[in-house]
Amino acid sequence: MAKKEKEVIAHGDKTRLQWTWHLMKQYKIGYVMIAPYVLLFTLITVIPVFSGILVSFTDFNLLQMPNWVGLDNYINLFINDDLFITAVKNTMIFAITVGPGSYILSFIVAWFINELTPKVRAFVTLIFYAPSLCGGIYVVFNYIFSGDSYGLLNGWLMNWGIIDSPILFFQDVKMIMPTVIFIALWMSLGTAFLSFIAGFQGLDRSQLEAGAVDGITNRWQELWYITLPSMKPQLLFGAIMSITNSFGFGAIVTTLCGGIPTDYVGYTLSHHLSEYGTTRWEFGYACAISMVLFFLMIGSNMLVQKMLSKVGKS
């Protein structure tokens, strides 16, 4: 810092533009170092998102030259496409249940296991993190929730005489959403969870001691007055991870319900997207769908960041 100030004084006679130019020359190696990553990042993330916005106003289908169709795709989506409305609704239901659910679960588990001894903690961390670590492992629920009597849960329930006929967890319209939400929660203790564990480990014990002296008597007070405010950076990061993840559970539905589920229960925007994108190749329309998804993600993230920024400020 001090060095920078000295430089500012030494170059005090330069204008802002000249100063910027000076810095650019002095640190030109920096541009060289970021170039490979930034070029690829631009190619794989920035260009796709922004060109997606443009394409969503056309009837692009990969084969013919695209025509500009204005807002037609969006109008069709919101007015003529009932399935789209279903998809938005289901996507939001998943996001609203799994997002906060996984966030709170990650936090509580991280909080509780923080008091274990390091070896036990490492083991418990593995158990809770494993489902999200091994991407495809949720297929095991095929055996547990299977709709015939070989399904473990149905087998038990029937054997105990609680039910007469098997529950069709992946076919019954009433059961699909709760079952999928349960599975999504099961595999949602991911990056946010690890970040919280690290946050708790980094807590300053002297602060907790000072709190105890100042009259904090139970774990909830300690959580509210000391832990939460000092873990705010992790809370903000964890929220982004949880929310972004909560939009990506369409694959569970596809795999476990065998394609598109009964009556489109559990049909999400990612299904709609792949239906129009990679099945019908209507890229213009599909891009409009992905833009809706984009704004849902950004919107809910921004909203939550705003809410969390109030933590510890009252």
Partner 1 sequence: MKKLRTRKHRVVLSRSIGGDFGVTIFMLLLGVVMFFPMYYLIIQSLKPLDELFYFPPRMYVTNPSFENFSDLFNLLNTSWVPFSRYLFNTVFITVCGTFGNLILSSMCAYALSKLPFPGNKFTFQVIQKSLMINSEVAQLMIFVIISKLGMLDSYWAIIVPALATPLGLYLMKQFIDSNVSTEILESARLDGAGEFRTFWSIAMPMVKPAWLTLIIYSFQGLWNTGQNIYIYSEQLKTLNFTINQVLLEGIVRSGASAAATVVMMIVPIVVFVVSQSRIIETMGSSGMKD
Establish if 224 lies at the interface with partner 1 (CB under 8 A).
no
Report which residue type is found at 157: L
Stretch of 46-54, 63-71, 75-83, 161-169 contacting partner 1, by CB under 8 A: 46-54
DSSP state of 208: H
Q: How far apart, in whole angstroms, are the C-alpha atoms of residue 87 and residue 216?
A: 47
Stretch of 72-80, 94-102, 168-176, 243-251 contacting partner 1, by CB under 8 A: 243-251
CB of 169 vs partner 1, minimal distance in Å:
14
Establish if 156 lies at the interface with partner 1 (CB under 8 A).
yes
Please select the residue that binds partner 1; options are 83, 93, 240, 260, rule is CB under 8 A: 240
Residue 274 CA: distances (Å) to CA of 110, 261, 286, 287 = 36, 15, 8, 10
Name which of 130 and 173 has its Cβ closer to partner 1: 130
Residue 14 CA: distances (Å) to CA of 7, 19, 135, 291 = 11, 6, 55, 45
Name which of 122 and 173 has its Cβ closer to partner 1: 122
CB of 75 vs partner 1, minimal distance in Å:
20
- The beta strand positions in 171-232, using DSSP E, are none
Site for partner 1 in 268-307 (CB under 8 A): 270, 273, 277-278, 283, 286-287, 290-291, 293-294, 297-298, 301-302, 305
Burial 74-92 (b: 16+ CB within 10 A, else e): beebeeebeebebbbebbb
Establish if 237 lies at the interface with partner 1 (CB under 8 A).
yes
The structure tokens 């833009």 sit at 291
Burial 100-117 (b: 16+ CB within 10 A, else e): ebbbebbbebbbebeeee
Site for partner 1 in 102-131 (CB under 8 A): 109, 112-113, 115, 117, 122, 124-131
CB of 23 vs partner 1, minimal distance in Å:
5
Please select the residue that binds partner 1; options are 102, 179, 234, 242, rule is CB under 8 A: 234
Q: How far apart, in whole angstroms, are the C-alpha atoms of residue 112 and residue 131?
A: 19
CB of 70 vs partner 1, minimal distance in Å:
20
Query: Any idea how long the chain is?
Result: 314
Establish if 45 lies at the interface with partner 1 (CB under 8 A).
yes
CA angle (100 as vertex; 99, 104 as ends), nearest 5: 125
Per-residue interface string for the shown chain with partner 1, residues 165-194, x marking contact by CB under 8 A = ---------------------x--x-x--x
CB of 107 vs partner 1, minimal distance in Å:
13
